[in-house]
A = this chain, B = another copy of it.
């Protein structure tokens, strides 16, 4: 059986670029639309709000886009956050000089890519396991590079991270002695607070989480080790973590686009990302469009139709089904825009952003490191 080459990205890229200068209704659906003025405003607004002691290190997992990373740096971000080593590699390639991988990096091939990236940019990585730290140290030594380390502390999410101040301190003491690693501080992610709709409860839960993170930092400092960085924060909690005493960096990322899951939680940012879609069926009270779970992220919230009185009934692989009034004027063939349920998983499903200004496509921006994101050392 002979292998069959899939449609290569350059074909998609060159077709997408042929859309520059065209109106949005000419774009083949489904397609990601990025509202450039709104995204610029969101980036500016977040930069303005970071006027306390905490600095912004926006998370690239929400956009996976070199151009957006550069806009964030230009607006004052101290660097970028990445979820995977492949995102970090793409950010370094885009010219970002200071990158935090806010996750454990495990697996020889990924650690090799990490050392390559660390030779091009200042790279810091989360660690919650001594053996993993030893492997990182060996790889960094072999590559003759230095890798920064934050001790990952579980602050209530119960995912990665050491479970106590004592464990954080013990790991820091050992990591601090490993060659070619630089202990830079601690990080914790309050992901269990970020989507809490009750604002006072969100504040209380976030405060408890930050108390745990600050406690781990104090314990490490008491042992005579440096804690230059205390990193936390998401879009749903950025203002709380950003003003908590001692927090130095905020990892919020989705503020750039927003989505249905967070629109009501953080109304100071505007919707900057939609999925352009086409009505493919209309029967009485049922409207169906050509975008579903293979092109829209539906984590935490259902997608919403823009500017049309409609209730989202359900989302299947290639369709979203809406309840509309029988009087709704939409018919088969018309374009509609959809607010994604959750932006980080939506952008992961697309090759490119169609960057829109004044109703026209002004740029095509690629989405990097999608899915497994690897492809091995470049």
Least Cβ–Cβ distance between A39 and chain B, in angstroms? 13
Please state if A11 and B281 are interface contacts (CB–CB under 8 Å). Answer: no
Residue in B110, B163, B364 whose CB lies within 8 Å of A283:
B163
> Main secondary structure on chain A at its contact with chain B?
loop
Please state if A16 and B375 are interface contacts (CB–CB under 8 Å). Answer: yes
Is A66 positioned at the interface, with any CB of B under 8 Å from its CB?
A: yes
Is A103 positioned at the interface, with any CB of B under 8 Å from its CB?
A: yes
Is A371 positioned at the interface, with any CB of B under 8 Å from its CB?
A: yes
Kindly specify which of A2-10, A45-53, A222-230 makes contact with the partner chain: A2-10
Q: Which residue of B lies closest to A64 (CB)?
A: B6
Please state if B378 and A280 are interface contacts (CB–CB under 8 Å). Answer: no
Please state if A283 and B154 are interface contacts (CB–CB under 8 Å). Answer: yes
Q: Which residue of B lies closest to A163 (CB)?
A: B283
Q: Which residue of B lies closest to A131 (CB)?
A: B332
Q: Which residues of B contact A279 (CB under 8 A)?
A: 106
A146-161 vs B, CB cutoff 8 Å, 1 = contact: the mask equals: 0000001010001111
Bound together, the chains give a CA A351 to CA B9 distance in angstroms of 11
A86-115 vs B, CB cutoff 8 Å, 1 = contact: the mask equals: 000010011000000001101101100000
Residues of A that sit less than 8 Å from B by CB? 1, 3-13, 15-18, 28-31, 61, 66-67, 70, 83-84, 90, 93-94, 103-104, 106-107, 109-110, 128-129, 131-132, 135, 152, 154, 158-163, 191, 278-284, 286, 288, 290, 293-295, 297, 299, 313, 316-319, 321, 331-333, 344-345, 348-351, 363-378
- Of all A-B residue pairs in the complex, the 8 with the closest CB atoms, nearest first, are A15-B376, A12-B375, A6-B366, A160-B281, A28-B109, A4-B66, A349-B371, A104-B280
| Given contact pairs A4-B66, A29-B107, A191-B316, a sample of 9 additional A-B residue pairs in the complex whose CB atoms are under 8 Å apart | A1-B67, A3-B17, A3-B366, A5-B13, A7-B9, A159-B281, A293-B345, A317-B348, A350-B371
